[in-house]
Structure 1
Amino acid sequence: MSSTNTKWYQNGYVYLTVGIIIGSCILAFGLGSIKGNDDSITVKGYAEMNLTSDLCVWRISINARMSTLASTFDKIKQNKERIYAFLLDNGIDKSIIKETSLSNYTIYNYDRNGGESDVKGYSMSQSLVINSKDIKQIQSLSLSINDLLAEGIEFNSNPPEFYVSDLGKYKIKMLGEALKDAKIRATEIAKSVGNDIGGIRYARQGIFQITPVNSTEISDWGINDVSSVEKSIKSVVDASFYVK
């Protein structure tokens, strides 16, 4: 073999060896450290807790529609008195019943062009709002009140809404739990490549999701379920930790 060929092979071997060494160092560094330019790990932390509602709000809309203003007012007054009697007879304390303002609407006949002509009658509505901690009682009455429809009482019973008192207290606790979860996740990621985490760099609160238990529903704007007694509150935190 000529000296020229021998020199070429020797140089090629040197270049190949150097390339393998450099590539191995880069690969080892990449696998052995998750430090970035800011020497930190950013993760999401999650927390979930089940809560039982301890407050409910029940709205009853009372309606009346008659041909004259006076008769409409008399009718809605009678309907309201009957509903009050139903509530009080079934153990509702009058002090927890609040009334909204009375709404009055004039009903017109319309001509062939769609314009209003003479007055056809009047419609009135007023709501009763019951705030109670006796959830089972309200659940029962919100169903049995429909028997009044057979008496000709005009009203709409809305489904009760269920709330958790001191929800803010639980939200604060959930944020703490979510941050703990974020730290655990960051620690495991760091350890998997031979590093450890230091102090927290920053933490950002995410959106709370309050849903029925076992629900998988989520929303970018958050959810605040009021339809269920048993609720699940979920929180998320974006957190960044220094790597050491």
Structure 2
Amino acid sequence: MNRNIIAISIAALGFIIGVALLGSAIKNRNQSQNTISVTGLGTKKFTSDLITWSGNFSRTSFELKSAYDELSNDKRVIENYLTSKGIPKDQIVFSAVDTQKQFNYGSDANGRSIQTFAGYQLSQTVSIDSKDVAKIENLSRNITEIINLGIEFTSSPPNYFYSKLADVKHQMIADATKDAKQRAEKIAENAGSKLGKLKKATMGITQITAPNSTEEYSYGGTFNTSSKDKEASITIKLEYGVD
């Protein structure tokens, strides 16, 4: 008799605990569902205020000293040309001389591979970093003037940067956050609810592309340097509770 009473009491207690746990689970589940997740976008168009440009020149000779003397003369000619175009000397940077042995490859009368020494090739790079974007752009477009001076010169396309990118990012974050909050408020209003406290905020990766381009965004962020005019964007994901 006593055993039956004890068994019934234990079963009743277990039922009560089970109901309580189920109610708690349902409550927590509903609480987790009472949230709104939205993504806001911040964009900014701007024009680069920094430009970098570089070019390469080289000389080849069977005599190492002759090649070096010719390259040194080319360096002086290039430096004089650049300063004549208004480029300050402290903005002109020449790399160390790179020396490579050149060979011609062929076959002898028996079909065996042979190589013959073709001389020493010495090369050097000149680069410029400047805030005078228009001047360096014009310089890069008229680089044939250096070639006409008798120098084997290869010019690289300029790269464009922006010195106040941190300010652009801060403004985009603010705009993206404002956009996301407005979206959340609108959703809550349309649902007849009231927006609660912010629970979570996640910032996306900054993407910088040329305006109206077909460049694809990348997981690690895109950073266009080939276009003077740029467009940056960033996303902010916000999660709010709903009252």
Q: Structure 1 counterpart of 2:62, which letter?
A: S
1:151 maps to 149
Q: Structure 2 counterpart of 1:46, which letter?
A: L
| CA shift in 2, pair 1:186/1:216, >3 Å | farther
TM-score of the two chains, using structure 1 as the length reference:
0.79
Q: Deviations over 1:91-142 (max 9, x none)?
A: 0000111122221111123353786634211112211111111111111111
Q: Structure 2 counterpart of 1:226, which letter?
A: T
1:69 maps to 64
Q: Deviations over 1:142-188 (max 9, x none)?
A: 11121222332111111111110031232122112111111111111
RMSD: 1.9
Q: Within 1, Cα distance between the matches of 2:36 and 2:112?
A: 67
| CA shift in 2, pair 1:181/1:87, >3 Å | same
Contact 1:209/1:218 (8 A) holds in 2 = no
2:136 maps to 138
Q: Within 2, Cα distance between the matches of 1:239 and 1:114?
A: 71
Q: Is 2:49 aligned against 1:54?
A: yes
Q: Within 1, Cα distance between the matches of 2:202 and 2:85?
A: 49
1:175 maps to 173
Q: Structure 2 counterpart of 1:234, which letter?
A: S
2:230 maps to 231
Contact 1:108/1:116 (8 A) holds in 2 = no
Q: Which runs of 5+ in 2 are unaligned?
A: 1-29
Q: Structure 1 counterpart of 2:63, which letter?
A: T
1:4-23 pair list within 5 angstroms: none
2:123 maps to 125
Q: Within 1, Cα distance between the matches of 2:131 and 2:102?
A: 39
Q: Within 2, Cα distance between the matches of 1:54 and 1:188?
A: 39
Q: Structure 2 counterpart of 1:42, which letter?
A: S
SS at the partner of 1:41? strand
**Bigger Cα displacement from structure 2, 114-123 vs 72-81:** 114-123
Q: Within 1, Cα distance between the matches of 2:69 and 2:138?
A: 29
2:242 maps to 243
Q: How far off its partner does 1:36 sit?
A: 6.6
1:184 maps to 182
Q: Is 2:210 aligned against 1:212?
A: yes
Equivalent of 2:73, from 68, 74, 78? 78
Q: Within 2, Cα distance between the matches of 1:116 and 1:176?
A: 67
**Bigger Cα displacement from structure 2, 144-153 vs 122-131:** 144-153
Q: How far off its partner does 1:239 sit?
A: 1.7
Q: Structure 2 counterpart of 1:130, which letter?
A: I
1:102 maps to 97
Q: Matched residue pairs, number?
A: 210
Q: Deviations over 1:58-108 (max 9, x none)?
A: 112122222221222122212211111110011000011112222111112
TM-score of the two chains, using structure 2 as the length reference:
0.80
Q: Within 2, Cα distance between the matches of 1:65 and 1:236?
A: 53
1:40 maps to 35
| CA shift in 2, pair 1:123/1:115, >3 Å | farther
Percent identity between matched residues is 33
Q: Within 2, Cα distance between the matches of 1:182 and 1:168?
A: 21
Q: Within 2, Cα distance between the matches of 1:138 and 1:241?
A: 50
1:193 maps to 191
Q: How far off its partner does 1:216 sit?
A: 4.5
Q: Structure 1 counterpart of 2:133, which letter?
A: I
Q: Within 1, Cα distance between the matches of 2:145 and 2:112?
A: 39
